[in-house]
Structure 1
Amino acid sequence: MISEELLQECIDEYKAVCHRKAALFDGNGELLAASGGDASWPESLLSMEKREAFLASGGEVWAGEGFCLFRIQWDGRTNGIFLAEGTIEENRGAALMTVGCLKRIYTAAGKRKGRKQILKELLEGKLTGEEEECRSFNRFRKRGEDGWIVFLIEGNEGCEGDVEAVLSELFAFEKRAEAVKIGEGLVAFACPLPDQEETAALTISDTISGELMIKVRVAVSRKVYGLDGLSKAFKEAFAALEIGKIFYRDRQIHLFGSLGIGGLIYHLPVPVCEGFIRDIFGTDTIPEIDDELLDTAYRFLANNLNLSETGRQLYIHRNTLVYRLEKIHKETGLDIRSFDDAMAFKTGMMIGEYMKYKKQ
Structure 2
Amino acid sequence: MPIDSQIDVILKAQKILLSTHRNSDGDGIGSLAALYGALKNLNKQVWFAPVDEVPKRYSYMLENVDTCLNPDEIKPDLLIILDTNQGELCNPLYKNCISQNCKVLFIDHHVDDSKPHPLVFRIVKLEAASTGEIVFDVIKKMNVPMNDFIAAALYSSLTFDTQAFKLVKNSSRSHFIAGELAGYKINTEGIQRALFAHWTPDKMLFLSELIHSAKYMSNNSIVGLTVSLKQLEKYKLEGDDVNDIVDMFTLIPTVKFAYFIRQASDSEYKISFRSAGYDYAYKVAIKLGGGGHKSSSGTWLKADGFTMLEEKIKTELRLIKLLD
> Greater share of helix residues, 1 or 2?
1
What is the TM-score with the length of structure 1 in the denominator? Answer: 0.27
Structure-2-length-normalised TM-score: 0.29
Structure showing greater Rg: 1
